[in-house]
Chains A and B, each alone.
Chain A
């Protein structure tokens, strides 16, 4: 296990402490790390700073209240927080409902298998590294697709690139990621 894996597993154990013990110290660290990132995400999505601040607080409060729903065998803490922030963005900035798929019905609630948790968190680490190692232009396009609230065609307008090129660049970046994940 390297340092970054350790970090990811640390966030997982923070979530467990928040869920089981309402641990404010663990929550404070989670907040310090993720709240500015969520705020930045909302600002890049077109929110003004004060609305982004308000939403970031709501997103982190949701992390506390829904800690029991976090499944570390299915998502990293960052991914889970991203999905909460994204849904808040759709709700507040775009003023829309977000239809969600039916939940898969698992067996009776039980602790996920530790080996599954480790494997998923390590995969997330590999994915994170692969994104960090992408050529800057490709990384920016992926960031814009997620955070700029831009469609592929809007990205095309902004960068002056033809739409087909954008799509194939995003695909290429994603294929590189998939390749790096193998």
Chain B
């Protein structure tokens, strides 16, 4: 591990990932962070264990298997395993495996769209309850200013950014909610690439950006 991650995901998020109750975009954030962070991986696996014990504990009285359930399962088994397409991943990429799956390849497969002042974004395909996008911020530039309706999480993949005196580098996650008004600025040494997920559309000031927002899906 090249860098000591200092800003982690919260227990709430990690537990909900284990429980399987997060929107897809948040799951992508957790899977990406955990790919780089052993501490959060251990947390997730311990929440998996809580899930396993709750499953083991519960003996449902009113739940009975259908007649012939076991025979039907043996027939499924005889039919062979479900074919899974093998995942092809670029080794040594700055994109952890789960992100490569959503981008459809390595960095050069990202379909960037300029959103002004040198900043670019690429929306990733997830369910609509929440959105995930990659952000490209030129070295030394500020991220576009915005407020929030819901939860937003931003994780650094390349470069670093500074926000209100906190420093975020590869693997670090910044959490923001409706009370946060922040203006992250990319570190001067390198262009910054981040994964950002939010469960609410970002609010921009003014009417025209509001309309534009609908088309840009941000």
Chain A residues within CB distance 8 Å of chain B: 24, 28, 31-32, 34-41, 43, 50, 53, 56-58, 60-62, 64-66, 74-76, 78-83, 85-87, 89-90, 94-102, 104, 123-124, 127-128, 131-132, 142-143, 145-147, 149-152, 167, 170-171, 174, 177
B98 touches A101 (CB 8 A): yes
Interface residues, chain B, with chain A CB atoms under 8 Å away: 11-12, 15-16, 18-21, 24, 27-28, 30-32, 34-35, 41, 44-45, 48-60, 63-66, 69-70, 72-74, 76-77, 80-82, 96-98, 101-102, 126-127
Say whether A57 contacts B73, CB under 8 Å.
Answer: yes
Q: Closest B residue to A40 by CB, please name it.
A: B60
8 sample A-B contacts, Cβ–Cβ < 8 Å, listed by A number: A31-B73, A36-B64, A40-B63, A94-B127, A101-B32, A124-B53, A127-B50, A145-B15
A contact residues around B18 at 8 Å (CB):
86, 146
The 5 closest A-B pairs by CB, nearest first: A79-B52, A40-B60, A78-B56, A99-B31, A65-B81
Q: Nearest-CB distance from B79 to chain A (Å)?
A: 8
Which chain B residue has the least Cβ–Cβ distance from A173? B50
Asked if A86 contacts B20 (CB within 8 A), the reply is yes
Task: Say how far B84's CB is from chain A's closest CB, in angstroms.
Answer: 10
**Across the two chains, which residue of chain B brings its CB closest to A154?**
B21
Q: How far is the CA of A36 from the CA of B96 in the complex (A)?
A: 37
Residue of B nearest to A129 (CB): B53
Residue of B nearest to A93 (CB): B20
Set of chain B residues within 8 Å of A64, measured between Cβ atoms: 77
Identify the closest chain B residue to A131 (Cβ).
B53
The reply to whether B57 and A35 contact each other, CB–CB distance below 8 Å, is no
Residues of B within 8 A of A62 (CB): 81-82
Contacts of B77 in A (CB 8 A): 61, 64-65
Given contacts A57-B72, A101-B98, contact A80 B59 (CB under 8 A): no
Taking A79-B49, A146-B54, A167-B12 as known contacts, 18 extra A-B pairs with beta carbons closer than 8 A to each other, sorted by chain A number, are A35-B73, A38-B55, A57-B69, A62-B82, A65-B80, A79-B53, A83-B52, A87-B20, A95-B127, A98-B24, A99-B101, A101-B97, A124-B52, A128-B57, A131-B54, A145-B16, A147-B58, A151-B16
8 Å CB contact of A131 from B11, B44, B57, B82: B57
Q: Which chain B residues lie closer than 8 Å to A124 at the CB level?
A: 49, 52-53
